[in-house]
Amino acid sequence: MLKGLLTGALTALCLSGAAQAGTVTIDVFAREDSTNGTGAAASAFGGSTGIFLTAGEEFSITASGSWSLESAFFFGPEGTSAYGADTLAGIPGTLLFGTLVGKIAGSADYFKVAAGGTFTAATPGELLLFIFDRDYGNNAGYVTALVTTPDGAVPLPAASLLLAGALGGIGLARRRRRV
């Protein structure tokens, strides 16, 4: 019985790495996940994806949906010229307000995501996603971002649960055997 549980635990551990590979769906909210253009997020948790990347790791993002800067009219993750444009650290030229942007936690620079593309992490850290706006209090809506990582840098809780389950099963088996 213990041998079977150990085999199951090892299988779960191996699968935990495989389960991490693929695409993760993340909703980016126009109010909660806003950046004010100075690098500060609108809230303490704004922009968090739970996806941790290594320096040089390639990933892709595809975004769709609609949000609004003043609840007046909605537009996609490409932003809108209705509110003008401004500069944002790391992005050459100007950027339309309402554009989906990304950042690696710990880096000073943002990158333009808009409707999507393929990107390379310049530094290690968590992938953050934001709407570019200076006045987020009246924003509404959200866009859905599909983040694909080839080597499985998706949120860690899934792997942690598999590991905890495997170790718990081993512990129970050993306890039953002693009793």
75-132 pLDDT, tens digit per residue, is 999 999 998 888 888 888 888 999 999 999 888 888 999 999 999 999 999 999 989 8
What pLDDT does residue 174 have? 63
Identify which has the larger pLDDT, 174 or 132. 132
What backbone phi and psi angles, to 5 degrees, belong to 153?
A: -90, 30
Please return the burial class of 103, using the count of CB atoms within 10 Å of its CB with bins 0-12, 13-18 and 19+: buried
- Residue 42 DSSP code: S
In angstroms, rounded to a whole number, what is the distance separating the alpha carbons of residues 116 and 12?
33
> What domains can be seen in the chain, in order of their start residue?
22-154 (2.60.120.430)
Predicted TM-score (pTM) of the model is: 0.71
**3-class secondary structure, 41:** strand
